[in-house]
């Protein structure tokens, strides 16, 4: 069963259920996955250059090539230890959830394209990014969906968020499975570092998975990257995974 189109008043909006997906969906997932992988090879190849943390590889995005594919692309996201290696589209206030069922190339798509909430800025203090959990292929936000489990969160590394301004490494902090209408998890900006850190401390207290050393990460955090997707729990269709990374 496909989720209804989201409205901007809801924070957690994305996901696909596996119940009604069949062989056609399997083929579709594979085709779309290869389209995004081919794009990554073309415009964001992995290099051996030092990342912001100095100990990982990052992509060097060809922004002219990427913007030729979609002029609303605002970032490239890669999460170490996952298959997340995708462009992110900037949503508009006029149609905030247009990319929920539209792919990077502007075509109708059940898997859509990862997109930045219209209330966030790519270089802002909080970046909230939505992406579908696909059923049969590990791409888009498939590998984000289980991060509310401690073992899954412990297995991932830094998220690299690259914009035309440069690349930033965000360390995994915490994750939770929450109701899609839970307003307490909605955070799109912060007035200063103190306000951001207060919310991050709250999030760690509410989360089902928290990384070791979380207190130290919260104490020095200046920015947060929040990834949102369906968590694929068959009997909990209205729950979503929220994974928080900090820089």
pLDDT one-digit tens code per residue, 28-38: 778 888 889 99
Give pLDDT, residue 58.
62
DSSP state of 184: G
Q: Tell me the β-bridge partners of 46.
A: 59
Give the three-class secondary structure for 76: strand
Q: Which is higher by pLDDT, 17 or 192? A: 192
Convert 1-31 into a string of H (helix), E (strand) and C (coil). Answer: CECCCCCCCCCCCCCECCCCCCHHHHHHHHH
Give 243's contacts (C-beta < 8 A, 6+ positions apart).
144, 147, 148, 153, 172, 174, 175, 226, 227, 228
DSSP state of 46: B
* Mean pLDDT of the 80-103 span: 95
Q: Which is higher by pLDDT, 236 or 222? A: 222
What is the gyration radius of the CA atoms in the chain, in angstroms? 17
Pairwise CA distance, residues 29 & 34, whole Å? 9
For tokens 């409205």, the residue is: 7
* Strand pairing category for 73-79 and 159-163: antiparallel
Give pLDDT, residue 138.
83
Give pLDDT, residue 49.
55
Give pLDDT, residue 234.
62
Exposed / middle / buried, residue 35 (Cβ in 10 Å: 0-12, 13-18, 19+): middle
* Mean pLDDT of the 7-26 span: 51
Token duo for residue 193: 């570092």
Give pLDDT, residue 22.
62
* Strand pairing category for 224-230 and 126-130: parallel
Give pLDDT, residue 188.
94
Give pLDDT, residue 5.
41
Mean of the per-residue pLDDT values of the chain: 86
The full set of domains in the chain, from first to last, is 23-246 (2.40.260.10)
Give pLDDT, residue 184.
87
Q: Answer whether residue 238 shows pLDDT above 90.
A: no
pLDDT one-digit tens code per residue, 127-138: 999 999 887 778
* Mean pLDDT of the 82-99 span: 95
pTM for this structure? 0.88
């Amino acid at each position: 069963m496909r989720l209804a189109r989201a409205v901007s008043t809801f924070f957690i909006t994305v996901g696909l259920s596996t119940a009604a997906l069949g062989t056609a969906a399997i083929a579709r997932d594979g085709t779309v996955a290869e389209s995004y992988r081919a794009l990554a090879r073309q415009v964001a190849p992995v290099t051996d250059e030092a990342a912001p943390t100095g100990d990982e590889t990052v992509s060097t995005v060809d922004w002219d090539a990427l913007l030729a594919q979609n002029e609303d692309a605002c970032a490239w996201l890669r999460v170490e230890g996952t298959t997340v290696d995708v462009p992110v589209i900037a949503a508009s206030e006029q149609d905030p959830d247009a990319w929920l069922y539209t792919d990077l190339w502007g075509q109708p798509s059940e898997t859509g394209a990862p997109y930045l909430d219209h209330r966030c800025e790519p270089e802002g203090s909080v970046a909230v990014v939505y992406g579908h959990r696909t059923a049969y292929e590990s791409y888009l936000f498939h590998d984000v969906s289980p991060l509310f489990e401690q073992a899954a969160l412990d297995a991932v590394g830094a998220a690299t968020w690259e914009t035309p301004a440069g690349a930033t490494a965000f360390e995994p902090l915490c994750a939770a499975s929450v109701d899609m209408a839970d307003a307490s998890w909605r955070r799109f900006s912060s007035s200063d570092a103190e306000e951001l850190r207060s919310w991050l401390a709250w999030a760690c207290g509410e989360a089902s998975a928290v990384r070791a050393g979380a207190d130290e990460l919260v104490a020095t955090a200046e920015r947060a990257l929040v990834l949102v997707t369906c968590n694929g729990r068959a009997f909990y269709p209205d729950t979503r995974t929220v994974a928080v990374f900090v820089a």
